[in-house]
Amino acid sequence: MNAPQGLKINRIAKGKRPKFYLDEPAAERLLATVSALITELTVLHKRVDNVKRIADKKDVVLTAEFENFAPDAKALEERERWRQAYMAYMDRVLAIVDQEFAHA
């Protein structure tokens, strides 16, 4: 999400997360994981939709290019760095869930 110019948005939510399965840490971990993935998928869908709509407005057909695209080594490295960063983010989410259960 892009904030309006001059507005800073915290990337880490503050406050307590809602708990749905107070006696089931594994269920809470799963729910936290699924929630984070749903959020990421929603952002991804919005961005892909934006690319498609911009291409359509410019009369650019990208369907075949999307299907046949083969990333170069640099792109593969960048994707791997992003994947590792996202996995680290998920580890932090799960650590927060675990910490909340340890103090419950």
Residue 5 belongs to some domain of the structure: no
Structure tokens at 83: 């994947």
Asked if residue 104 has pLDDT above 70, the reply is no
Kindly state the greatest CA–CA separation across the chain.
Answer: 57
Using N-to-C axis directions, what is the helix angle for 73-102 and 25-57, rounded to 10°?
Answer: 150
Q: CA-CA distance, 51 to 28, in Å (whole number)?
A: 35
Q: Which residues of 38-71 are buried (b: 16+ CB within 10 A; e: fewer)?
A: eeeeeeeeeeeeeeeeeeeeeeeeeeeeeeeeee
Mean pLDDT across the chain, nearest whole number? 81
Q: pTM of the predicted model, to two decimals?
A: 0.60
Region 39-56: mean pLDDT is 92
Region 69-74: mean pLDDT is 95
Residue 48 belongs to some domain of the structure: yes
Residue 73 belongs to some domain of the structure: yes
Confidence of residue 17 (pLDDT cuts 50, 70, 90): low
Residue 65 belongs to some domain of the structure: yes
Higher-confidence residue of 63 and 44: namely: 44
Structural domain span for residue 73: 25-102
Check: CB of residue 20 under 8 Å from CB of residue 27. Answer: yes
Give the percent of the chain with pLDDT over 70.
78
Q: CA-CA distance, 87 to 96, in Å (whole number)?
A: 14
Higher-confidence residue of 32 and 76: namely: 76
Higher-confidence residue of 1 and 52: namely: 52
Residue 52 belongs to some domain of the structure: yes
Residue 4 belongs to some domain of the structure: no
Residue 32 belongs to some domain of the structure: yes
Tally of domains within the chain? 1
Q: CA-CA distance, 54 to 23, in Å (whole number)?
A: 48
